Amino acid sequence: MKISFEIKDKDIAGRIGKLEIENENNSMKKTIETPALMPVYGLNNPILSIDELKEKFNAKILMTNAYMLFKTEEKKSKVIEQGIHKFLNFDGIVAVDSGSYQLMKYGDIDISNAEILKFEEKIGAEIGSFLDIPTLPDAYKRLAEENLLVTLKRAKEAKELNLNLIINAAIQGSTFSDLRAKSAREISKNFELNAIGGIVRLMEEYRFEDLVNIIVAVKKNIKAGNVVHAFGLGHPMLFGLAVGLGCDIFDSAAYALFARDKRYITKS
């Protein structure tokens, strides 16, 4: 897979861009305009169908969970046989998550970094991710440093595997700007799609100053032309702020999580 990003217009640190992914195995190209939101499609209990996401919300890119596919034997065999696009009935760009959220939630998952990456490639996703270690805000710095070392080691492994997959490379470091800067520099060397991870708790707690500091630390230390994904940022009240700071892609399952609790999202 080959990724290219053309900045069409910009203001403050925000930009309107053309993101193109080309599958070099078959020369197929897929293009979206950024900023773009990736709806997260829940495999086990979807609130909206793929057809609704395409027809009502004009989704040209979405995200789903490769780990959940891998761990459900029936789905796993079917998606390997059909490929992710036919399995989902979606011909746009498909990004998959590695199971890092489950790792953060449960403390351990029974799959290796290389296994999930090879699975992501095997099912034909355009965008995949390595098994990074999310570190919650306000963690002890030593823990954040240790987790970051593991994340960077797994990033290196992802690069060395040389897969036909665009890596959505996670930048971690908790709320420590120096660790975020270090992570950003290292990740930016080898990956053109950089994902700011470990920020959902900050948004849930309305800690927008910390969120801004993290985004700024990352943006100052990556290559200017890299695409920036804000992991889990999906509330309309934050889109303008995040875009103005230079984020290009967002993902969120908030629409589904809120709906299950009989809540809905407004603009502010």
pLDDT at 213: 98
- How far is Cα 136 from Cα 202, in angstroms, rounded to an integer? 9
Report the pLDDT value the prediction gives residue 171, as an integer from 0 to 100: 98
251 is catalytic: no
| Domain membership flag for residue 141 | yes
The pLDDT assigned to 236 comes to: 86
In a domain, residue 130? The reply is yes
Residue at 209 is within a domain? yes
In-domain check, residue 192: yes
For residue 96, being part of any structural domain is answered with yes
Residues 6 or more apart whose Cβ sits within 8 Å of residue 128: 66, 95, 96, 98, 117, 120, 121, 163, 165, 166, 167, 168
Q: Report the alpha-carbon distance of residue 54 to residue 48 in Å, rounded.
A: 10
CA distance readout (Å), 22 to 3, 32, 93, 108: 6, 12, 10, 34
SS (H, E, C) the chain: CEEEEEEEEEECCEEEEEEEEEECCCCEEEEEEECEEEEECCCCCCCCCHHHHHHCCCCCEEEEEHHHHHHCHHHHHHHHHHCHHHHHCCCCEEEEECCHHHHHHHCCCCCCHHHHHHHHHHCCCCEECCCCCCCCCCCCHHHHHHHHHHHHHHHHHHHHHCCCCEEEEEECCCCCHHHHHHHHHHHHHHCCEEEECCCHHHHHCCCHHHHHHHHHHHHCCCCCCCEEEECCCCCHHHHHHHHHCCCCEEEECHHHHHHHCCCCCCCC
* End-to-end CA, the chain: 38
Q: What is the pLDDT of residue 253?
A: 83
The CA distances from residue 178 to 132, 145, 148, 173, in Å, are 18, 10, 12, 8
In a domain? residue 24: no
pTM of the model: 0.94
Expressed as residue numbers, the domain containing 108 is 36-260
Q: What is the CATH number of the domain that holds 183?
A: 3.20.20.105
pLDDT at 103: 65
**How far is 229 from 210, CA to CA, in rounded Å?**
17
Question: Is residue 6, in this structure, part of any structural domain at all?
Answer: no
Per-10-residue mean pLDDT for the chain, 268 residues long?
Answer: 97 97 91 97 89 94 95 95 98 92 65 95 98 92 97 98 97 98 98 96 95 98 97 91 98 84 78
| Catalytic residue, candidates 91, 97, 108, 251 | 97
Name the domain count of the chain: 1
Structural domain contains residue 171:
yes
pLDDT at 106: 57
